[in-house]
Amino acid sequence: MFAANRRTAFDFKAEGVEGIPDGMTIDIDGNLWIAVFDGSKVIKVDPRKGKKIDQINFPTKNVTSVAFGGENLDILYVTSAKHFLSEEELKAQPTAGALFEVRNLGTKGLAPGFNYRGPF
């Protein structure tokens, strides 16, 4: 069943964000964290306003997914890929394909099984 109140949470093109939205997760504040494939970053979006509120840059082009983890769900794990990179790009991006760990974000993820309904 689809929600009757569907809307765009964030428009990459309109907001000038280069890259392709890939994996994403939501934090306890209702903000969306989006891995940007071909964009070297993860963006934090307020889906209520449709605006980017933060960005984390990575030393590799193809950022693929994000998930909160750790004992307190306060660590953001970020995956990346080697796919679609030339030999030259792979040499310039030795961390391509790595798993990154980001701490001290001031937020945390939702517990498993939590049914976030949001303010919509």
Asked if the model's pLDDT at residue 106 lies above 70, the reply is yes
CATH 2.40.10 for the 20-102 domain, yes or no: yes
Predicted confidence band of residue 111 (pLDDT cuts 50, 70, 90): confident
CA 47, 57, 98, 62 torsion: positive or negative? Answer: positive
- Between β-strands 32-37 and 20-26, what pairing exists: parallel, antiparallel or unpaired? antiparallel
Asked if the model's pLDDT at residue 112 lies above 60, the reply is yes
In the residue annotation, 46 being an active-site residue is answered as no
Asked if the model's pLDDT at residue 2 lies above 80, the reply is no
Mean pLDDT of the chain: 92
Q: How far is CA 55 from CA 43, 90, 96, 105, 113, in A?
A: 4, 23, 19, 11, 27
User: Which one of 22, 29, 38, 54 is the catalytic residue?
Assistant: 22
pLDDT at 118: 58
So where are the chain's domains?
A: 20-102
Region 17-46 average pLDDT: 97
How far apart (Å, rounded) are the C-alpha atoms in residues 66 and 23?
A: 6
pTM of the model: 0.89
Predicted confidence band of residue 89 (pLDDT cuts 50, 70, 90): very high
